Amino acid sequence: MARTRFPADRGLASRMVVTMFLLGLLYVVFVAIIIALGTSAIVALLLAGGLLAVQYFTSDRIALAAMGAKVVSRKQAPELHAVVDRLCAMADMPKPRVAIADADMPNAFATGRSPDHSVVCVTTGMLRRLDEPELEAVLAHELSHVAHRDVAVMTIASFLGLAAALVVRFAFYAGLFGGMGRRGNQQGPPVVLVIMLVSAVVYGVSFLLTRALSRYRELSADRAAATVTGRPSTLAAALVKVSGEMSKIPTRDLRTAEPLNAFFFTPALANGFSLSSLFSTHPPLQRRLDQLARIEAESGPAT
């Protein structure tokens, strides 16, 4: 973790290490199976590796583009910059770039591969709905993600699952055009089916590992923000307000934003069934509020 005043979270650090180790082990086995099958699907893995490198080094720009956000100067958003400046001074950490997304959905996120290469973004809907102390609490939550470096870990972990999906597609089209049939005259299932089955298992395990890590990191960021600002109840108030306002956002806008849920302050969930609601990237709202209430009780009222 970066050396800042955000409290170190050994539970988060250990979970990040375990998640990356298990994912790495999973993909070593994955690559070994594909090589053993003697298929050209290894090309897909090399392609996925290249795409991973691109995403890792450009994750901030990709996220901003997905939200239609723009980096703003101090002159363009003096109040927002002032809040970020104050928090970075309190936390003794490098100041990230500051961006605003023109969206009514009240939300915020941070992304980037390191504290020196990061960006924190808020939507115009968030700026309209929260007062300054609430906004400060939300931004403290987001900055803790940067300080703990869990944003970079989630970027890598999330992409590894997509690599398996890429191999499934590659194997399907290769099999469709005759590039992956049976190995010689040996009996057994077609190689393409084996590749697709293994890839599906890898994707499923990756999905579950990243969801478990994502839920814990949100609780960790809430704790860190409450500690640095000294106002757990303010963060709780922001959570309640933002979650309540989210139900007023058109379903189409929420579904469009769902791919970025793992990075949002609160998830953009539309009514009805979806994988995002079934395997949420965030812990239940009540669990987050209960944790903040315990911190408030242990620390006493803010002065």
Catalytic positions: 142
In this structure, the number of other CB atoms found within 10 A of the CB of residue 24 comes to 12
| CA–CA separation, 37 and 31 (whole Å) | 10
Q: DSSP per residue over 16-49, as a string?
A: HHHHHHHHHHHHHHHHHHHHHTT-TTHHHHHHHH
Cα torsion 49, 52, 58, 62 to 10°: value is 130
Question: ∠27-31-36 over CA atoms, to 5°?
Answer: 145
Amino acid (1-letter code) at residue 184: G
Q: In what order do the strands lie in the sheet with 97-101?
A: 69-71, 97-101, 117-123, 108-114
| CA–CA separation, 231 and 228 (whole Å) | 8
Amino acid (1-letter code) at residue 151: V
